[in-house]
Structure 1
Amino acid sequence: MEEVLTEGRNFKLVNEEELPEILEVLARYLPDSIKIHQTLQTYLKDRVWDFHFYVTKTWPEQLVVLHFPGMTQTPNGKLYESFSVFCPTEQLDDLELLFSENVLIDWTQPIYLNFTHGKIMERIQDFYADKGTAETLLGDIYVVDTSTDRPKDIDSLDGCVFPDQAEIMQLTRQHAQTIHDLYPANHMESVEIFEKLIDKLPCYGVFSASGDLAAWMVQSYYGAMFSMQTKPEYRRKGYGIYLARYLTKVVTERGYLPFVVIRPENDASKSLYTKLGFKKNFQTVRAILRPNEMNGDDGGQGGGTNAS
């Protein structure tokens, strides 16, 4: 088993009893901090995955937080080859501590970054420009808009009557493989992450009268609602919007701020979630950083949890 380091050059491992305080600090920067904030929240509540959180040795003066592993599957499965990072966008100069971190992070090897705030990623790419290349995947963070009055029926499930006596139920582990097989970014995921999410978090499916899994949606380890899929033969029955409304209600009741990650070209999802009271807040980026001397290697895409 890989050794968990208690500190790096510029960062220190957060002890268990310190995590609630870190969570409170991150809450001041919502929604920008939403991904790492709710990753930590889910970790404290449900322990979906064995994560490790680091903060600067100068915390809280310099508010940079690291989360290892930032993805749940990488080619070598090493703890420190993938991570997530958050820093307030008005304090991006503090990311210099990340760039000079040479104990926790080996910048001479491929790095797998889970979805990271676009402004933070810009700084990372500037730093990395003369060291290697970045393969990126963009997503837009849509968060439930609490700044205005939402339609009163947004969270109501009244009137959602399924045809053919379909019903909604919590998923079980036996459904993980089906979800993984049809997940658009399944080359970035392991089946195991879906199994763990189903074991610990709200993960629902719409089942036909014959018991066939027709559509599904799950809550991720970082609090997002993601992986909404409907099998082709069950489309245009309203299953998707019902699941989105249902999970939004459940996630809210569990103390989370509902959000989704939507790819920029996915107009259908943008329309659906806008109708449900979600609002785009910022762009996020998933990236693989490869040193110039390793760009010919076919290392594959690391894992993690992608969304809509």
Structure 2
Amino acid sequence: MEEVLTEGKNFKLVTDSELPEIIDFLSNYLPDSIKFHQTLKTYLKDHVWDFHFYVTKTWPEQAVILHFPGMTRTPNGKLYESFSVFCPCDQLENIRLLTDEDMLIDWTQPIYMNFTHAKIMEKIEELYGGTMEKLTGEVYCQIDEKIGNEEECNITVFAEDAEMMQLSPEHAQIIHDLYPANHMECVEVFEKLIEKLPCYGVFSATGELAAWMVQSYYGAMFSMQTRPEYRRKGYGLILAKYLTKLVKERGYMPFVVIRPENDASKGLYAKLGFKKYFETVRAILRPHEMSSDAQGGGGGGGTQQNGH
């Protein structure tokens, strides 16, 4: 098993007992910090996956926080090969501490960055000496809006005989098989999410899984898909409305990551009071001398991008 380092050159490992204070700090930077803020909350509450969080040794004066490993599948599956980062957008000069980190991060090898605020990624790109492959998403949050009245949220009306139920781990394989970016995620991710978090599916009259949506380890709703033969029946809206309600009840701010060209999803979430707040980027950083035909980490599709 790979050794977990207690510190790097500029960063130190955070203990679980320190996380509530860090969550409080990040709450001052919502919605920009939403992915990290809710990843920490979900980690403490449900421990869906093993993460290791690091903050600067000068935290919070220089407020940069990292989490390893990212959820993106990487060629070597190393602990420090994939990660995510947050820094307040008015303190981006502190990102230099990341590019100067030569103990936790091996900058001579490809780095797989999980969805990170676009302004932070722009700063990394400015400082990085290699090339970058990027995939952009738009973060939509529901901050102040209500999802109709309580009675409306609790009633699901289908145009035909169908039923919405919590998924079970046995459904993970089919969801993974049909997930557009399944080359980047292992089926165990979906098994853990279904086991620990609200993950619902719409089942047809014959018992077939027709549509589904899950809450992710970072508090967002993602992987919403409807099989082609069951589209235009309102399943997506019913799932999104119900999951939004559950996410809020569990103490999270509902948000989704949507591809810029996906007007259908934007229209669906607009009906539920979601608004765009910022862009986020998933990227692979490669040193200039690395071959361009190494494994890619972009991709994706479907109704939403996976925000891992």
TM-score, normalised with respect to structure 1:
0.94
Task: Give me the whole-angstrom Cα distance separating, in 2, the residues matched to 1:89 and 1:12.
Answer: 21
Work out the CA distance in 2 between the residues paired with 1:98 and 1:61. 15
Q: Residue by residue, what CA displacement relative to the aligned partner does 1:181-224 show, whole Å, maximum 9, x if unpaired?
A: 21122222111111111111110000012111000000011111
The 3-state SS of whatever aligns with 2:80 is helix
Measured in 2, the distance between the counterparts of 1:164 and 1:93 equals 56
Task: For residues 119-166 of structure 1, give each alpha carbon's deviation from its aligned partner in whole angstroms, at most 9, with x where no partner exists.
Answer: 0000011112xx3211111000000031xx546348833663113321
1:76 aligns with 2:76: yes
Q: 1:157 aligns with which of 153, 160, 163?
A: 153
Contact 1:170–1:205 (Cα < 8 Å) also in 2 = yes
Whole-angstrom distance in 1 between the partners of 2:307 and 2:58: 33
Gaps of 5+ in 1: none
* Partner of residue 252, structure 2: 256
Could you tell me how far apart the structure 1 residues matched to 2:239 and 2:29 are? Answer: 29
- Given that 2:114 and 2:307 are in contact with CA atoms closer than 8 Å, whether structure 1 keeps it comes out as no
Alignment length (residue pairs):
304
Query: Percent identity, aligned pairs only?
Result: 72
Which residue matches 1:10? Answer: 10
The separation in 2 between residues aligned to 1:282 and 1:154, in whole angstroms, is 29
Q: 2-side partners of 1:265 and 1:231: how far apart? A: 20
**Which sections of structure 2, spanning at least 5 residues, go unmatched?**
none
Distance 1:302 1:11, change over 3 A: farther
- The code of the aligned residue for 2:138 comes to D
Match of 2:201 among 188, 202, 205: 205
Q: Map of 1:83-162 to 2, 5 A cutoff?
A: 83-128=83-128, 131-146=129-144, 150=146, 152-153=148-149, 156-157=152-153, 160-162=156-158
CA distance in 1, matches of 2:205, 2:171: 17
- Which of 161, 164, 180 in structure 2 is aligned with 1:184? 180
Q: How does 1:168-183 map to 2 (within 5 A)?
A: 168-183=164-179
Q: 2:223 aligns with which of 219, 224, 227?
A: 227
- TM-score, with length taken from structure 2: 0.94
The answer to whether the 8 Å contact 2:72/2:114 transfers is no
Q: Secondary structure at the match of 2:29?
A: coil
- Counterpart-to-counterpart distance in 1, 2:155 and 2:99: 53
Contact map agreement 2:114 2:283 (CA 8 A) in 1:
yes
CA contact 1:12–1:55 (8 Å) conserved in 2: yes
Residue 272 (structure 1) aligned with residue 268 (structure 2): yes
Contact 2:80/2:104 (<8 A) preserved: yes
CA contact (8 A) 2:283 2:297 kept: no
Structure 1 residues 61-88: Cα deviation after superposition (integer angstroms, max 9, x where no partner):
1110011112242111000011100000
Residue type matched to 1:50 in 2? D
Is 1:284 aligned with 2:280? yes
